[in-house]
Amino acid sequence: DAGVTQSPTHLIKTRGQQVTLRCSPKSGHDTVSWYQQALGQGPQFIFQYYEEEERQRGNFPDRFSGHQFPNYSSELNVNALLLGDSALYLCASSLELAGVTGELFFGEGSRLTVL
């Protein structure tokens, strides 16, 4: 049973460019969340997708957008890249009705470097 998979694992962009990151959730999971983890910090919540709609959003600008497909996979898009967008982007999947514990399953992340 494959866990959460993300691509690409590493990428380098220049300021002003756009980037798309991809995530396939754990089999059977219907909810995908994206987190940004800057170097030396804990992950910060970007947004969450369920039933192909953005359900909630953290404190991130509109340059960050996403999409969820009918097969539950998801994309994170970042426009007009800034140096400060350099980070590890983590995708996490879960079940909407995950029970009391509601464990999140994370991928290994996509490490973005903006030059």
- What residues line the site for another protein (CB under 8 A)? 30-31, 33, 35, 40-45, 48, 50, 55-56, 58, 88, 90, 92, 94-109, 111
Q: Are 96 and 68 in contact (CB under 8 A)?
A: no
Q: How far is the CB of 25 from another protein (least distance, A)?
A: 11
Least Å from the CB of residue 102 to another protein: 3
Specify the residue, 70 or 99, whose C-beta has the smaller distance to another protein.
Answer: 99
